[in-house]
Each structure stands twice: as C-alpha cells, then as structure tokens.
Structure 1
C-alpha cells in the first residue's frame, strides 16, 4: 500500500507560492509546493492545513479553500492529494520553517499561462546542457534514466511532480480563458 501525502497550490497576489526545500531534508534543494505526509488517522485536508501551518506559518483562518484537485498525481511511492487555496497574506511576510524550507518565492500566474514547460529525457550528463544551474544541480543528483517535465523560472529550476502539477494547472487556466 502506498503512503499518502498532500500538496497545496496557494495563490497570493495573482501568483503561486512555491518553496525551495532545505538542503538537509529529503529532496533537498528542489522546488515544491507546501505539503507533506499524511499521518495515521488524519484526513488529507487536515494534513494539508497542518503542513501549511508547519511550513509557512499560515493558519487555517488565513486560507481560503477553493477546491480539492481532481487530477491523479502519479508518484511511485505516494498517493497524493492536491488542494487549491488562496490567501491575502504576502509570501515575503511568511515566517517559514527554515529547517524545511530554504526560501519561498512566487510564480506569477500570468507567467505560468505562457510558460514553456518542457520535457527532458535524461539519459546522460550531456542531456543537462543548456539548463540553468539550479535545475542541473537538482537533476544530476539522480541516475540518468528518466523523463520529466521542467520549467526554468528566473534562477529556479522546477521539475518532476511540481512541474507536472504546474503543467496541469496551466492547461486548466488556459481552458478557462477559452
């Protein structure tokens, strides 16, 4: 049986809040959404509220619940539940947990709408040529034997499940405009 985890897409000022994980935790240095493991006897929604407060310092009352995401997020070890929220809080005012998060930044929704989320077939080091330094550092920690989506935004490299979720979110945004 797979473990369970929950992630949150949180919008603030027409942007999505993203985190860069601290180097000392699993998947250190990687960009991700707020979230984490669902504990025993905990509902996915309660888990994401707990994780958001632990990681970002945002309390439930500071969040506007929009929806549970219906997409099936593919992960080999976890069944992942996604939730969509908005907040009036500014990302730069958040008192985040520096043991888990190296930094917080936002991806403007206007940028995401037109972003070129690409596919990388990682078979050898040469496949990383042309990627920004952050993305190279993150990906080269893994054996070259996978295909992944990725997005370069400013100095940040966003890839894997986070990029996959952003690609689905982008698709939904662009459908709504048509």
Structure 2
C-alpha cells in the first residue's frame, strides 16, 4: 500500500495529472475495503473512510501553509467536498470519463493543474461547479492514507485483507512468472 502512495506522489511530481487524480480517487475505495470484515469496497465504505481520513486533511494542509501566528485565528473551516460528492465524482470520472454526475450537488468538479497560475484555487464554488487544486487534493488523500495506515497497519483486520492486496513482486510470482518483476 505504501508503494502505491509513493508512486502516486511520483506521478504528481512528474506532471502525470490524470494518473494522479484517478489514483487518488481510488484510495478511499481501497482503504475502506481493507478496513472492513469482507474486504469489499462499497459506496458507503468509501464515504465513511473519506469523511474520517481524507476530508479533515484540508484544514491540516491549510494550517501547514500558514504562518504559525495565524493558525490560531483559523476559524472552523470545512472541506466542501463531502464523501458523497467525492464518491459520485469518482464514479463518473473512473467509469465514464466525465466530471459530471447527475446526482452530485455540483454541476461539475474542475481541477486546476499545478503551476497553471500563481494563485491557489481550492474548494471554490463558481456558479454551481466546484473548483479544486489538483495537487492539494492529491496531498490530502495521501496524508489521509498515511495517517490511516499508521493506525491500522498492524491490526488483524488489515493484515487479513492485505494478504489479497495487489503487490509488486521483484523476482516474479511463483509458480506463474519468475525472474522478472510483476504486479499481482
């Protein structure tokens, strides 16, 4: 799981924004499934995981970017992208290649690429579209997964589900392929 997160960070740094966004959107599915008895993803698990682990990271990252003396004056801000809206966006993007979902509270969700402007546009609503900074969104997801992993990685439930998690096998995967790296 940590290798997936490392590769997501590398993808983001190298400007592979489609890959970064698509991967970031799958993280709550994977983590929600790995944190459940049956090890299977669902919309409800996605929503619950995102609300607990990813959504609050907005404020954490915002505080990090502010001078310390200003942090105490930060009012209770909340990420407007809730678990349901994120899940619906994930469904439309990953399954239809669209940024519009008819049941979403936003008419569309738009991501600004890093370096496109010197300004930061993050979680702004313009008309009824939500504008998100792609890099910050990915970092929020990554931070959420890292915090979650730190809290569950040694639990019996995680270990049970991790046995079935896709992994990179440097020397192959016996008895199928040996001698070359495989993902399986």
TM-score of the two chains, using structure 1 as the length reference:
0.26
* Larger Rg, first or second structure (1 or 2): 2
Greater share of helix: 2
Greater share of strand: 1
Q: Which has the higher contact order (CA 8 A, sep 6+)?
A: 1
